[in-house]
Amino acid sequence: MSAETPVCQLLERQQADYRGWLWVAPPRDVWLEAGQGSVLSADHGVLQAWQGRGRPASSPFAGDAVGAPPGAVLFWPKTHALGEWWLLWLCANLPAGTPLQLVGENQGGIKRVLKVLAALGLGCRKLDSARRCILFETRLGKVGIDPDAAWTTFEAEGLTLVSHPGVFGHGKLDEGTRLLLERLEAELPGPDKAQDVLDMGCGDGILAAWLARRGHRVTAVDVNAFAVEATRRTLAANGLEGRALSSDVYSALDGRRFAAIVSNPPFHQERSIDYGPAGRLIREAPAHLLPGGTLLIVANAFLPYPDLLECAFGGFDVLADDRRFRVYRARVAESR
């Protein structure tokens, strides 16, 4: 089975014996998923794909030991600080001397790996380049830097938010989310009218914490384990209750229904625009809402969500529009 993505195509042509290796933060690729070794990823979709094939798969926040693999391959992400975190995590959790290969696309900043490794005192050599990708090789060592140092906090809306380079809007309150919060004040009053609310794509937990502070019973989900962990830490930092789960849209909710679903849904996948998760969020929302339940989302004004909302709900309202972002509301019928 041939590799599908450029980075995996570069790896596929190597003469290396990758049996038993640890694949770190890889893309979805059938060549990897049908091959050898185990995966370490913060992407719930990737973990589910590997587990579905009976392959070893773990999250960096699950507490599972990764053991001492014969080597590891780190797929360098577009977010440079996130790549540094993965590198520090591997140095802290794998034996010193473990062979490490780092692969990434030129446009994704793989060339910057040289400076990062040099700053950590780790040697490096270039193994190969093709498909506008580069493959480097080094060996892990104990560098004395705690990967947890990447977690930071900031204040917004009277809340302490915990953030990480792997989380959407890292270190700041997104303007679309701010616009949505302005409308939630009227749409979801509390605490005397507390409801079961789902925060879909929870990010750093700003919506979940804001809703929990108003007395709502909050469930927060995200496909990204960094976001789930950030939301848990945000809720704890503010002394608030709520559940945060890893989920590919609604996959982890076991058919549970809510009075309201709120979201600032993502549409970027690396450098491409992807409406897939947001499309599923809208299309499947009525099945996860109680009778009379409400979907409240904010989105860039140019995104084609009105057609999706019309198709799923039969109508919608625009609650706010500042030309950059729009807040949409759609409701299911009182009785179905």
Q: pLDDT value at position 99?
A: 98
Task: With respect to residue 1, please indicate whether it lies within any of the assigned structural domains.
Answer: no
What's the whole-number mean pLDDT along residues 207-224?
Answer: 97
Q: Are residues 168 and 244 in the same domain?
A: yes
Per-residue pLDDT tens for 219-239?
999 999 999 999 999 999 999
Q: Are residues 77 and 97 in the same domain?
A: yes
Task: With respect to residue 336, please indicate whether it lies within any of the assigned structural domains.
Answer: no
Per-residue pLDDT tens for 67-125?
899 999 999 999 999 999 999 999 999 999 999 999 999 999 999 999 999 999 999 99
Task: With respect to residue 40, please indicate whether it lies within any of the assigned structural domains.
Answer: yes
Domain count, the chain: 2
Q: Are residues 85 and 184 in the same domain?
A: no
- DSSP letter at 314? S
Instruction: Please give the single-letter amino acid code of residue 159.
Output: L
Q: pLDDT value at position 159?
A: 98
Q: Are residues 231 and 320 in the same domain?
A: yes
Per-residue pLDDT tens for 130-182?
999 999 999 999 998 999 999 999 999 999 999 999 898 899 999 999 999 99
Task: Answer with the one of 144, 161, 176 that is the final residue of a domain.
Answer: 144
Asked if residues 224 and 44 have their Cβ atoms less than 8 Å apart, the reply is yes
pLDDT surpassing 80 at residue 306: yes
Phi, psi angles (nearest 5°) of residue 335 = -135, 135
pLDDT surpassing 60 at residue 268: no
Task: Answer with the one of 97, 114, 144 that is the final residue of a domain.
Answer: 144
* Residue 103, domain extent: 6-144
Gap between the Cα atoms of 255 and 39, Å rounded: 28
Task: With respect to residue 259, please indicate whether it lies within any of the assigned structural domains.
Answer: yes
User: Which residues are paired to 197 by β-bridges?
Assistant: 218, 260
The whole model's pTM is what? 0.93
- CB-neighbour burial class of residue 155 (10 A; exposed 0-12, middle 13-18, buried 19+): exposed
Q: Are residues 281 and 198 in the same domain?
A: yes
Task: With respect to residue 292, please indicate whether it lies within any of the assigned structural domains.
Answer: yes
Q: Are residues 177 and 312 in the same domain?
A: yes
Task: Answer with the one of 89, 122, 144 that is the final residue of a domain.
Answer: 144
Q: Are residues 119 and 238 in the same domain?
A: no
Q: Are residues 201 and 52 in the same domain?
A: no
CB atoms within 10 A of CB 153: 13
Q: Are residues 278 and 316 in the same domain?
A: yes
H or E segment at 116? helix 113-119
Q: Are residues 175 and 240 in the same domain?
A: yes
Q: Are residues 170 and 319 in the same domain?
A: yes
Task: With respect to residue 206, please indicate whether it lies within any of the assigned structural domains.
Answer: yes
Q: pLDDT value at position 279?
A: 92
What's the whole-number mean pLDDT along residues 244-264?
Answer: 95
Q: pLDDT value at position 273?
A: 44
Identify the CATH number of the domain in which residue 315 sits: 3.40.50.150
Q: Are residues 163 and 285 in the same domain?
A: yes
